[in-house]
Amino acid sequence: MTRYVARRLVQMAFLFLVFLTATWFLLYALPGDIVAQKYATNPNIPPEARRLAMERLGLDKPMLVQFRDYMVNFFTLDFGYSFNQYPRPVVDIIKERLPRTIVLFLTAVITYYWAGFAAGKYLAWRRGKRGEMAITVGGVALYTVFYPWFALIMLWLFASQLKLLPLGKFLDPDKWRNAPYPANDVFLRMFWLTLITSVVVFGIHLLARRIKDRTPRRLVAWAGTVAAVVAFLGYWWVGREGAVMRPYAADIAYHLILPVLTLTLVNFAGIMLLTRTSMLETMREDFILTARAKGLPEHMVRDRHAARTALLPVTTSLVLAVATVIDGGIITETVFSWPGMGEVLVSSVTLGDIPLAIASFSFIGVMALVGHFLVDLLYGILDPRIRVTAHG
């Protein structure tokens, strides 16, 4: 086990280095350095100023020297300044954008996983019956819909025509005028509190599973969940800071609805189909037949036995959502005026802001590698069949 982890870590480190180098050279090859691009439109700027700007950004040095400097700085955790917003540190920009992206996409991912899992369960159970075709085709149509187009139509329909939801943005400037907190503080508070509550609820359920009797087990699980939720809400209503922050958090939550709804509609079908496949396979397993043979009611077999096992591959696919999230972010954030990491990626590349682009890409690269590693570990721990083969 330790040896396996160590080997994986070394592999990952090597691959990251390759990735970083490749990214750097790719971005370096971008046509039109940022100085030329910014100054080419202003003939009043003398060539001298252009030269000075190149010098200040370090673009006048030979390529390999620039590369060496970058790498040395990178591994001393100095990611440099943004070229476009010089002298703002790259880390600053990422820190500003990240909380918004995390809150939006975490909410969206949880929602569409839940929706997809529920729909997939239903679909597997109704195998070959009426409705299956409609749900599958409808779900897949949404899954393959041309997303920018769909998002604009959603915005037009819900915000402009029906006037149910706000027109993009993550807050209402009128409500936030002279707000005591910057939006990012509220975003982070929402994120951590929700995370802590979720972890507590999850922990309670894990603990409850150890109780043998059914009634006390349910009681503990529900009481614990309710207590956690009450504590969560209590913070916002009674807590000293929470009460002040509540209207602001609520405003953000209100603005979350439309992008989350759109992302859910577009993404749930992927999870639905995965769940269906996984369920169909699980349902052929012996223990399901046994459960049926015992005469347990159908919904019990479906929800308690089949679904739990089928959940496994679905859960681990969660980590793959990182890529979907960032791809979706590029469009979602633009259409819904929610400037986050997706926008940073596109604009830094199109503007030739190399340090910002590399930092964002390597950030995603690290997330990708670590995420995948964790999935493999998690999968090994959760699925006993694999643990056996791995040790065997």
Partner 1 sequence: MTDTSERTDQLEGQTLAEIGADESIELAEQAQRRQSLWAIRWILFRRSLRHNWALFWENRIGRFGLGIIAFFAVLAVMPTIFFATGYWNPAIYDPVTGLEPNPPVQRFTVVNEITDPATQIDFTRVLLDNRIPNDVLPGDVVEIPLQPAPPDSRHWLGTDPLGRDVMSQLMHGARAAFFLGMLAAVVTVVIATIVGSVSAYFGGAIDAFFMRLADLLIMIPALAVLIVIGAIFEFQLWHLAVVIGILSGFGGTAIVLKSQALAVKVKPYIDAARVAGGSNTHIIVSHVIPNVMPLSFLYMMFTVTGAIQSEATLSFLGLLNVRTSWGLMLQLANNQGYLLQGLQYWWLLFPAGVAVTLLAMAFFLVGRAMDEVVNPRLRKR
Partner 2 sequence: MRHRLARWRWLAILAVFAMVAAACQTEPTEPGDTTTTTEAPTGTEPTETTAPPTAEGFTYRLAIFSDPTTTHPWAALDTENDVWTNYVNPGSGSLYGYQPPTYTLVPAMAADDEPPEVVADGDNWSVTVTLRDDVRWSDGTPVTANDVVFTFETIQKYDGLGGNFPSLWPLAREDDPATADVDESSDGVLSVEAVDDMTVKITFNFEPGLAIWPFSVGVAPVFQEAYWRPLVDASDSAETFYGNETLGYPNTGAFVTAEREPGAFWRNEAVADYWDRGAQYTVYENGAVEYTSASGTSETYGEPSGEVIAQWTEGPYASEALYTLYTDQNSAVLALTDGEVDFLLNPLGLQRGLQQLVLSDPDLNVIVNEQNGFRYLAFNMRKFPMNVKEFRQAIACRIDKEFMADTVLGGAAIAANSLVPPGNSFWHNPDVEAICSGLSEQERFERAVELLKQAGFTWTTEPAWDPDNLDVLPQGEGLTGPDGEEVPELTLLAPGPGYDPLRATYSLFIEEWANDLGIPVRAEPTGFSVIVDEVFATGDAALEWDMYILGWGLTPFPDHVFDFFTTDADSAEGGFNTPGYSNPEFDALAAQFKQAKTLEEARDLIFQGEAIIAEDLPYVVLFTTPIIEAYRNTVSYPFTTTLDGLQAWSGVPSAVTSS
Q: List binders of partner 2 among 206-245 (CB under 8 A).
A: 218, 222, 226, 229, 233, 236-237, 244
Smallest distance, Å, CB 114 to partner 2?
12
Binding site partner of 318, from partner 2, partner 1, none, Cβ cut-off 5-8 A by kind: none
Smallest distance, Å, CB 267 to partner 1?
13
- Interior CA angle at 83 toward 79 and 88, to 5°? 65
Binding of residue 333 to partner 2 (CB under 8 A): yes
The site for partner 1, by CB under 8 A, has a size of: 71
SS (HEC) of the chain: CHHHHHHHHHHHHHHHHHHHHHHHHHHHCCCCCHHHHHHCCCCCCCHHHHHHHHHHCCCCCCHHHHHHHHHHHHHCCCCCECCCCCCCEHHHHHHHHHHHHHHHHHHHHHHHHHHHHHHHHHHHHCCCCCCHHHHHHHHHHHHCCCHHHHHHHHHHHHHHHCCCCCCCCCCCHHHHCCCCCCHHHHHHHHHHHHHHHHHHHHHHHHHHCCCCCHHHHHHHHHHHHHHHHHHHHHHHHCCHHHHHHHHHHHHHHHHHHHHHHHHHHHHHHHHHHHHHHHHHHHCCCHHHHHHHHCCCCHHHHHHHHHHHHHHHHHHHHHHHHHHHHHHHHHHHHHHCCCCCHHHHHHHHHHHCCHHHHHHHHHHHHHHHHHHHHHHHHHHHHHCHHHHHHHHC
Restricted to residues 261-280, the positions that interact with partner 1 (CB under 8 A) are: 273, 277-278, 280
From 159-167, 308-316, 357-365, 371-379, span contacting partner 2 (CB under 8 A): 159-167
Binding of residue 372 to partner 1 (CB under 8 A): yes
Binding of residue 276 to partner 2 (CB under 8 A): no
Restricted to residues 41-80, the positions that interact with partner 2 (CB under 8 A) are: 41-50, 52-53, 56
Smallest distance, Å, CB 36 to partner 2?
6
Binding site partner of 247, from partner 1, partner 2, none, Cβ cut-off 5-8 A by kind: partner 2
* Rounded Cα distance, 250 and 172, in Å: 11
The site for partner 2, by CB under 8 A, has a size of: 77
Identified binder of partner 2 from the candidate list 12, 16, 23, 37, rule CB under 8 A = 37
Restricted to residues 277-306, the positions that interact with partner 2 (CB under 8 A) are: none
Binding of residue 172 to partner 1 (CB under 8 A): no
Q: Is 12 or 193 the residue whose CB approaches partner 1 more closely?
A: 12
Restricted to residues 171-190, the positions that interact with partner 2 (CB under 8 A) are: 171, 173-180, 182-184
Binding of residue 323 to partner 1 (CB under 8 A): yes
Identified binder of partner 1 from the candidate list 284, 294, 295, 299, rule CB under 8 A = 284
From 24-32, 36-44, 168-176, 206-214, span contacting partner 1 (CB under 8 A): 24-32
* Rounded Cα distance, 104 and 340, in Å: 9
Restricted to residues 114-153, the positions that interact with partner 2 (CB under 8 A) are: 152
Binding of residue 135 to partner 1 (CB under 8 A): no
Binding site partner of 114, from partner 2, partner 1, none, Cβ cut-off 5-8 A by kind: none
- Taking Cα atoms as reference points, which of 343, 264, 318 lies closest to residue 98? 343
Binding characters for partner 1, 342-371, by CB under 8 A (x = yes): x--xx--xx------x---x--xx-xxx-x
Binding site partner of 122, from partner 1, partner 2, none, Cβ cut-off 5-8 A by kind: none
